Amino acid sequence: MRASDFYELVSGRRRGLAAAAARVGLALLEGPYRLGVWWRNRRYDRQPAAVRRVGVPVISVGNLTLGGTGKTPMVRWVARRLRANGVRVAIVSRGYGASAQGPNDEALELEQSLPDVPHLQNVDRVTAAEAAINELATQAVVLDDGFQHRRLARDLDIVLIDATAPYGFGHLFPRGTLREPLGSLKRADVVCLTRANLVDAAARLRIRERLQRLAPHTIWCEAEARPTRLLEAIEDAGPYDDAVRDVAEARSLAGCRVVAFSAIGNPAAFYETLQSLDAQVLERVEFPDHHRFTADDIARLAALAERLQPEALVCTHKDLVKVGVATLGPTPLRAVAIDVVLTVGEADLTRRLEAIAQQALADDPWQEQLAYAVSEDKPSETGTAEG
């Protein structure tokens, strides 16, 4: 089932007897899933020793729902703030969609936009974090999609809530899109409402009031995902060269006839972005989340472009890094770059990150080792160092 079909079904927008029967079946499966989530959270709540600390600050960016909520732009935003404070940062993630051939699309996108921030992917994220510290001298770890990964202790838990579907359609997976109950927000330190510009002020206030009743101690933020630039792939890029480059401002899509395709968790958000840019979308093609494009996929898209004669094929940055070409046939391929802009709560979140940065720099275990190594090489007061 395509992601958009699943959302249509669980949201109730798909009507009819077959859709109603499918929702009943999914509701029967929701119970076992809920029990599993409850049991897992109970274990960590009652066994603090099961949670591992790794010796440097850990900042988690996660969510409560399936699909895209804007995690990658927020991970990039957090990492850049830490780097601006002089902290050596590494990103750690599970690596959904990664393979023996290389990292997944999210890692490739972050690698291009954060060339000085290593990204480690491992199902065992504690092991990945320890490797980042011991092998890369990392002073702080950003845990991508980490809210449900409770084995790695964190110093700041940022949870993103999509303003267009904040409550997962009222149900846990598979009947809805909640990964765990809304009450789990009590573990959060920061709740950030993403895509806040896609709902009106009254709706934002209602969401804020409800969620802050569940987690009154949290910092509240609101963010917009703003399309800023169009990117194209650099086909002859070497292993240490930039793989994409800016070619135009995103608003240049206004009035353009395009074919859009995506392989992301929430394709509707991408199409809403194109609509906000006033692009004329002739056709939409969806692939599963983290899909690795094959030669047949590329041929299919090229044939579609030949038939419809768009001015461009358009995808997300995550898709572009996997396709890796500047054109499909004679048709240009462009990706829309998204930046996150905090419109509410930026000062409070920045202060928390600056405090964590100061802690990371003060507690850096590598500084002590370096000081010891230097002292060993210094001449003594009564003679000179040997060797």
Binding residues for ATP: 65-72
What angle do the packed helices 71-84 and 346-362 form, to 10 degrees? 50
Bind-site residues: 65-72
Total Cβ atoms within 10 A of residue 64: 26
292-298 own/partner pairs: CB under 8 Å, 24+ apart:
292/97, 292/99, 292/322, 293/263, 293/319, 293/322, 293/323, 298/323, 298/325, 298/328
337: which 2 tokens? 């770059």
The CA distances from residue 279 to 19, 140, 253, in Å, are: 32, 40, 5
Tokens encoding 275 = 């609509």
DSSP at 385: -
From residue 372, alpha-carbon distances to 271, 365, 375 in Å are 56, 11, 5
Is the CB of residue 133 less than 8 Å from the CB of residue 35? Answer: no
